[in-house]
Every structure is written in structure tokens, then in C-alpha cells.
Amino acid sequence: MPPRIVTLERHITEQQKLHPAASGRFTGLLWEFVLAVKMIAREVRRAGLIDILGAAGHQNVHGEKVQKLDEYAQERIAEAMLNSGSVCAMASEETPDMIPIPREAGRGHYVFLFDPLDGSSNIDVNISIGTIFSIHRKITPGEEGTLQDCLQPGYKQLAAGYVLYGSSVMLVFTTGKGVHGFTLDPTVGEFLLSHPDLRMPPRGRIYSINEGNTASWDPGTAAYVKHLKEKNEADGRPYTLRYVGTLVADFHRTLINGGIFMYPAAPKPKLRLLYEAAPMAMIAEQARGRASTGSGRILDIVPTELHQKVPLIVGSADDVADYETFVRKARPKT
Ligand code: P6P
């Protein structure tokens, strides 16, 4: 019996049957997002040719205005959400405030938070980049979405996911019923289920952190990383370091292979809570991993502003637990 090919569309339709209350508006929102992602993937593939086709901000050989990829990604996704008519509020890393949703676009019950192109500084060196999204349900009365609808804790997310524009284009997301990975088959333009029910191994052998910041780490992080580089009780072998510098790529490797990704508070937090740390934390927990600030659960943080930054320690449950132990032990005795 050949393996059953499950397209993303079939998977979402089957999942919708599991949610009898599902109105289909959520499904429609995902459809529109996936179309935007396919268009972004096409442009990412061509990014290396931008000098031939025309640099951002200028016209290409066809006389078309060429946009910076992150502007392009931002516009495609915002447009898709407006077309869905299912969104009442939207916010992005690229916009200081919430993105307005005109009344005529139609407003639904969903809040869409996203980082359109994570790691865009890696485009010029042809290193993987990504898109990250988080979906909440509207919690305030009335039709118009408000900042309060955006500032919800991560444990309330309806769905979270990312797209990795890597050696292949992968969409990985959860709606609270496990984590599923889809790989784009460019020959048919379909995302096919390639990684059903992804689980993080309880412990890995890879740590991921920017060692350039070693001099500024807090004592707990420094002691933990030193421990990983020395003999390891488990089997005596030190961990291996891998650091891409694109959160989506470093997280995806951690999801598949296990281990730990750290962007600690010192020298200063860099990753945004709403559309980077919280969606990755939901995915990690749904895959049996953990996501912590180093002393508390990411998903429990109640946001206070759209672009709030937090430390992110995410990965295999045992590795994250070890990190928290080192941080606790390093804390000054009161
Ligand atoms: P650093 C990319 O700029 C990003 O926002 C994340 O994708 C990535 O994990 C992080 O910054 C890398 O930051 O300071 O190590 O270059």
C-alpha cells in the first residue's frame, strides 16, 4: 500500500472535522496565509538574483518595482489576512502599531500576529530565513480588534507556526493537537504532510547560543554552557554547538534533533514575545518540549506591549530543566 499523500488542505479539512464548532473561517484564514507563503517562497528563491533583476527600491528588467523581501513578505501576509475577512486585529514586527483593518475588508474573530521574515539579515548570505505566526481569538466586545486582543498570554493561542525557507520550504504549525510539518512540493505547488506529529526528543546533544556574547552572560548561563562543553554525566561526550542566527532555523533543528536554543536575558533580550517566543513556545510544548525565560514558562507571560522582548530558552524538556537548575543555583543566596 503506497503511503497516503496528505496535502495541507486535506489535513486542515480533516482537523476541522475534529472541531465541530469550527466555522470554516479559521480554515479560510489558513488558506490565505498559505497562498501568501507560496508567493514569499517564490521571491526568496529569486533573492540571489536581485542584482540581476534589480535591487530593492529600484525597477527590475521588467520595469517592476523590486521590494525588499521583508517588505514584500509583510505586504503579502497583511493582504492575505484582509482577504480572509476573518481577522479583527493584526500586528507585525515590521509595523510599530497594530495594522489597521478597514471595515469594508470584513472583520472576524481572529487576531493574527507575525514576523514576516525572521532572520532577514541572512538573505544576502543565502542562509535560511523564516516566517513566524501566532493566532488568538478576539476577547474584547465589539467588531473592532483592540490592543488588548493582541496582548494575550501565549497559553491562549489558538494556533502557532512557522515557515522555514531552507533547502526545502517547510510549514510547521500546531492548533493545539500536536505539531505537524509540511514540505512544499514545488512541482505541484502543494504543501505535503512530511512530518506528522513531531515530538522533541526529551534530551539532545546540541546547544545553540551566540557564543560571541559569552563575556556578558549571567552566571547561570555561563555555568550551564561550561557544563555542556565539559564531560557530560549522561555519556561523557560534550554537546555540539550549532548557531545559524535565524530563530526559525535554530528552532527547527532543535525540534527535530532535540537539544536547547538559548537567547538569554544577558546581555539583553532580543526576541519578541508576541510573534517569536510565544508561538515557538506553543510549538515546543505541543511537541513535548519546554520554553522558559530561564525561571518561568514563556506561555504564562502576560504581555504589556506589542514588541516586548523576552529571554527565550527552548528545546528538549530535560535540557531546559537543566538550564533552569543552573540559573537557580547561580542566584545569589538571599
Ligand atoms: P544575534 C534574527 O535577526 C533574530 O531576530 C533571530 O532570528 C535570531 O535568533 C537572532 O536575531 C540572532 O541574534 O544577536 O545572535 O545575531
Domains, the chain, with CATH or none: 8-195 (3.30.540.10), 206-330 (3.40.190.80)
Cell of 249: 532555523
Give residue 22's pLDDT. 65
pLDDT class for 86, splitting at 50, 70, 90? Answer: very high
In angstroms, the CA 109 to CA 87 distance is 6
Supply the pLDDT for residue 25: 84
Pocket around ligand 1: residues whose beta carbon is below 6 Å from it?
118-119, 121, 210, 245-247, 250, 270
Ligand 1 centroid to residue 89 C-alpha, Å: 26
Question: What atom in ligand 1 is closest to the CA of residue 243?
Answer: 15
* Cα distance between residue 40 and residue 43, in whole Å: 5
Strands 110-118 and 129-137: antiparallel
CA of 44 to the centre of ligand 1 (A): 19
pTM: 0.94
What DSSP string describes 85-120?
A: T-EEEEEETT-SSPPP--GGG---SEEEEEEEEETG
Write the residue with the smallest CA distance to atom 13 of ligand 1. 245
Rounded mean pLDDT, 16-21: 72
CB 45 within 8 A of CB 16: no
Find the 307 Cα to ligand 1 centroid distance in Å: 15
CA distance 206 to 310: 22
Q: What's the 136 CA to ligand 1 centre distance in angstroms? A: 25
Task: Indicate if the alpha-carbon torsion angle 165, 206, 300, 265 is positive or negative.
Answer: negative
Q: How confident is the model at residue 6 (pLDDT cuts 50, 70, 90)?
A: very high
Dump pLDDT digits (tens) for 132-163: 999 999 999 999 999 999 999 999 999 999 99
